[in-house]
A = this chain, B = another copy of it.
Amino acid sequence: MHHEKSRHLSPSLLRLRQAGYKLTEARVVVLNAIEQLGGHVTSAQVLERVSALAPNIGRASVFRTLDLLTRLGIVRPTYIDSSATPRYVLMRDGHHHHIICTSCNKTIEFEDCGLDAIAKTLEERLNVKLTGHLLEFFGVCATCQASIPLHKEERNNP
């Protein structure tokens, strides 16, 4: 990470630097890993990919970086299936929206959210400064609706 030109930095790296954090190899590689993997990624996936890209990077640094990225709103942890470990998802321009199928745990991303109006209202009403949001819908995807009921809750309703 020696003497790199700032015009070649990804938006995320730029934000990191503008927030006053050093642009270290660990941070750059973690971000690369997340971007390469795409979508919702677990820390385990990030760890694996990072050590493929740069085996020297320590496990603690990966967790530290995930934490930092979260605090800066670059990334957001989300709970998809079991009560286990979170999935991290890149926040594009402060926005992220998806639907989680409660039957198969598939996530469906979508782009449009009419949230700017509400955001503005909240900012005025509560005196807060909003920088991003996560919107999750829960429900049953088309495939799962079509398939034979697999789940007890559906079995018992004839």
Interface, chain A (partner B; CB < 8 A): 18-21, 43, 63, 66-67, 70-73, 76-79, 82-83, 86, 94, 99, 101-102, 108, 110, 112-115, 117-119, 122-123, 126-142, 145, 152-153, 155-156
Contact = CB atoms under 8 A, between A and B. Distances in A.
Contact of A130 (B63, B128, B138): B138
B72 A83 contact: no
A101 B128 contact: yes
Given A19-B156, A142-B126, A102 B131 contact: yes
B108 A126 contact: yes
A34 to B, nearest CB: 13
Given A99-B122, A122-B110, A128 B155 contact: no
